[in-house]
A and B are shown apart, each in its own frame.
Chain A
Amino acid sequence: MSATVETLEAIERPPVTMGSRLEGELLEVSMGPQHPSTHGVFRMNVALEGEIVRKLKPVFGYLHRNHEKIGENTSYLGSMPYTDRLDYFCSMTNNWAYALSVEKLAGIEVPERAQYLRIILAELTRLQNHASLLGFLLNDMGAWGTPLMYAFREREKILDLFESLSGSRMMCDYMRFGGCRVDADDAWLARARQIVDRFPKFLDEFEELILGNEIVIGRTQNVGKLSADLAISAGITGPMLRACGVNYDVRKVDGYGFYPRFKFRIPLGEHGDTYDRLMMRALEMRESVEILKQALAQIQPGPIVNPKVKIRAFRPPVGEAYGRIEAPKGELGFYLISDGGPNPYRYRVRPPSFINLTVLEDLCLGHTVADVMVILGSVDIVMGEVDR
């Protein structure tokens, strides 16, 4: 037995070449899951050549709790508060998508006032989601704090509205099968009108802040270009699809709820780059304000829930249904199979931000690491929905 002690000098080392620029050599970097601009716990395995991204693999599952399995083991109504936790920025639209699917599954009609309330709350949700997205995006670009606080000031007003109506700011649990849980009184509607009337002022200010800004333009234009063909094939939905110039909005195509009653336009982008995706949110907010003004003017008193719907022992007939809505992040769908029992046999969520991440690698290739954060921010993800 020979004991050899290796001294530090004896170990052979590759020569250190400070001058080499890692040409052709790939450096693997794990971005996330604790990175502040991954909007939660999201990881990307990135292969870098110098500063340029050559490969990017997203890693999911840090927030996975098998929402679908839990949904299959709870009653239909029991899943309603749990849908709030999917995309926790937009609990109202999650509620609506789930209620819409169950209503399709069981053949339930919704009274008129409830439809109006749903549209009002869904569009308010869109306003606060898009406003805070723009704030976060500017935060990711290095505009620390200030734009985000401007956006959060507006979001706060809308969350206060949600709180006074449903009792909760973010986990609203507001919709029910065949209607809504509580009615909005006249004072609430007056307050909503006031907030909606003042919202364009914020938009003017915010657009002036970002649109002509040289840094924003430099960081976003021609960054992360997405072609319309790839976007359609990859199932991209929502503002991200429309930024490529594809005119597809479930509000217009399916005409669910009372959307066909309202006049609004669908903003379309031209280049499909990050700047267009950012602009899409700004323009959509203006259209949401138009819808809200019409809805708040047209809403009439009446019942808010269909009295024929059984609350206890709710058992939809055997069958299956897929219902979808235009959530702020894209097409949010619920696929339900009923075997006639009190629980769904199959409960599936079609999460828009999860599927929108399919093209993340295509968007980031050839750009720098700093651009990855901006591109990811413009996709608009919430990990509660991505990992479910």
Chain B
Amino acid sequence: MESLEQIKGRAETAIPGAKIDIVPNPGPANQPSLLIDNEHAPAIAKFLRDDAALRLDFCSNVTGVDWFDRVAKKTVKVKKVVDGEEKEVNQTTEEKIPGYLEAVYHLYSITHKHGAVIIRMRTEDRAAGARLPSLTPIWRSAEFQEREIYDLYGIRFDGHPDLRRILMWDEFEDHPMRKDYVQPDDFEWEPTPHDDVLARAKQHYTPRPELDGAEKITAGSGDTLKR
């Protein structure tokens, strides 16, 4: 199979305006990935699937990742004049990288039996309405998996045919796989029609303490009963 640099070069010439970066993977697994820009993502995905040499027709794994805000420290040697003498001094710069949500796709080719090519897309921020283009029209296997990402991470996929919650129930509000998710105090509670009925029943009910005598009854006293 071609190297990622070659794939990147060919894809960028085939799709004008597309921007692809290679994300290195420092670990021993040596699985670097391609970061594709959101605007041209469906076109790039279509290219990867239909290109005769690549034919990445099998999208195996689709998943989300939540990256927090982080600070990347860089140490650069800078020439500085100290006491009239030129010296090399280590200068540390801190760069703040704002957090984002990521969708990762692992692609294989059943035709040529090669892979994996890993592509990823990033949202602009971790806000509630973060959006990405859906790749379900290209690979049907993303259908349930993108729904799962929407359910657990809260990324909205534009162009998905049926974007609903899949594992959590429909009334659930938060996205539990986010790193800053806080568990509710009461797991069991979920709104049911019964709650609405109770609320309506309460509106009709007017307390009649004088008639019922309910207010006056206290445990052990027994006054009201004697009267």
Instruction: Please report A residues at the B interface, Cβ cutoff 8 Å.
Output: 60-61, 64, 66, 68-69, 104-107, 230, 232-237, 246, 248, 253, 316-322, 324, 331, 333, 335, 337-338, 346, 348, 350, 354-355, 357-359, 387-388
Contacts and interface: CB of A to CB of B under 8 A. Distances in A.
A346 B107 CA distance: 19
Given A246-B110, A387-B167, A105 B61 contact: no
Contacts of B166: 60-61
A247 to B, nearest CB: 9
Interface stretch (B7-15, B25-33, B123-131): B25-33
Interface string B20-51: 00000111110100000000000000000000
B214 interface: no
A354 B141 CA distance: 10
B176 interface: yes
Nearest to B162: A57
Interface size class for chain B? 20 to 34
Given A331-B60, A355-B144, A66 B27 contact: no
Contacts of B141: 233-236, 355, 358
B121 to A, nearest CB: 16
Interface of B: 25-29, 31, 57-61, 63, 65, 104, 106, 110, 113, 116, 118, 139-145, 152, 166-169, 176-177
Given A233-B141, A235-B140, A387-B167, A338 B177 contact: no
A104 B30 CA distance: 9
Contact of A235 (B29, B31, B58, B113): B58
B65 A337 contact: yes
Contact of A230 (B28, B110, B140, B142): B140
A319 B25 contact: yes
A64 B168 contact: yes
Nearest to A234: B140
6 contacts: A232-B58, A234-B141, A317-B27, A319-B25, A322-B31, A350-B61
Contact of B139 (A105, A233, A253, A346): A233
A321 B31 contact: yes
Contacts of B116: 322
A319 B27 contact: yes
B27 to A, nearest CB: 2
Contacts of A236: 141
Contacts of A321: 27, 29, 31
A350 B60 contact: yes
A232 B57 contact: yes
Contacts of B61: 322, 324, 333, 335, 348, 350
Interface secondary structure of B, over-half rule: loop
B166 to A, nearest CB: 6
A105 B27 contact: yes
B95 to A, nearest CB: 18
B184 to A, nearest CB: 13
B27 A320 contact: yes
Most chain B Cβ neighbours within 10 Å, of A233, A331, A333, A354: A233
Given A61-B168, A105-B28, A319-B28, A335 B106 contact: yes
A338 B31 CA distance: 13
A210 B61 CA distance: 35
Contacts of B110: 232, 246, 248
Given A60-B167, A324-B60, A358 B28 contact: no
Given A232-B57, A232-B110, A358-B140, A64 B167 contact: yes
A64 to B, nearest CB: 4
Contact of B29 (A105, A331, A346): A105
A232 B138 CA distance: 12
Contacts of B142: 235
Contact of B140 (A233, A237, A253, A318): A233
Given A61-B168, A317-B27, A322-B61, A66 B177 contact: yes
Given A235-B142, A350-B61, 4 more contacts: A322-B31, A335-B63, A337-B65, A358-B141
Most chain B Cβ neighbours within 10 Å, of A104, A319, A333: A319
B92 to A, nearest CB: 20
Nearest to A106: B28
A335 B104 contact: yes
A246 B111 CA distance: 9
A359 B57 CA distance: 16
A346 B65 CA distance: 7
Given A355-B141, A358-B143, A320 B31 contact: yes
B26 A317 contact: yes
A63 B18 CA distance: 42
B167 A61 contact: yes
Contacts of B143: 234, 358
Contacts of B59: 235
Given A233-B139, A317-B28, A248 B113 contact: yes
Contacts of A246: 110
B144 A358 contact: yes
A156 to B, nearest CB: 33
B165 to A, nearest CB: 8
A62 to B, nearest CB: 10
A299 B110 CA distance: 32
